[in-house]
Structure 1
Amino acid sequence: MRLFAKARALLMLLLSFVWDLFASTGTVARIVLSPRIGVRPAILVMPTKLQKPWAVAMLAYFTSLTPGSTCLHVSEDRQTLHLHILDLHDADATIAKFRRLYERRIAELEA
Structure 2
Amino acid sequence: MAGEDWIELKFRLFDGTDIGPNKYDPSTSVASLKESILARWPQDKELAPKTINDVKLINAGKILENNRTLAESRVPVGELPGGVITMHVVVRPPLPDKNNEKQLVNAPKQNRCACTIL
- Write 1 or 2 for the structure with the bigger share of helix: 1
TM range (shorter): under 0.3
Q: TM-score, normalising length from structure 2?
A: 0.26
Higher strand share: 2
